Amino acid sequence: MASPPLAPHVVIFPFMAHGHTLPLLDLSKAISHRKIKVTIITTPSNAKSISQNVANHPNIFLLEIHFPTDIDALGLPRGIENTSQLPSMDFWFPFILATKQLRKPFEQVLQTMRDCKILPMCVISDFFLSWTLKSCQDFGVPRLVFHGMGVLSMAISKSVILHRTTPESKVGFRPFRLSWP
């Protein structure tokens, strides 16, 4: 007798900042209302607030991975797992670098899911966790990127990237002023 098919499953991996986590929690709730299991990957410190936010959603599960502790070379104070805990914005870049050390624990989660034959239908991760793309590709899992910014700022950012000029380019650039009525 064949075993029943497994329920659809999505993994969500938010960046460790409230402004990035909260919209992904809303997305998690919306997905879970469609009877899709959601696993949110986070660190122990962030799990406390996330678990309170999703407590009434039985299809949402938390999976904790430890924030890197080998961060002395980065200059990041120990115990910081969220941008709200940064003593100053001078620690922003070291924090970003520290999150790259979450790659191995993330891949261990995917490996465990593969071993148990419960790989997710996709991973939705924050754009600050860009390294998750390669990890997901290695496991054959589609990765969707989450951008928390609004449409206008996203369009401007994409335009700047696509139409970037370099000092070597022959295309001239004249400054212009934007005004708002």
Active site residues: 20, 126
Dist. CA 37–CA 67, nearest whole Å: 24
Dist. CA 59–CA 53, nearest whole Å: 13
Q: In terms of Cα–Cα distance, which of 145, 142, 139 is closest to 122?
A: 142
Q: Is 103 helix (H, G, I), strand (E, B) or coil?
A: helix
Residues contacting residue 6 through CB under 8 Å, at least 6 positions apart: 117, 118
Residues contacting residue 20 through CB under 8 Å, at least 6 positions apart: 14, 126, 128, 146, 148
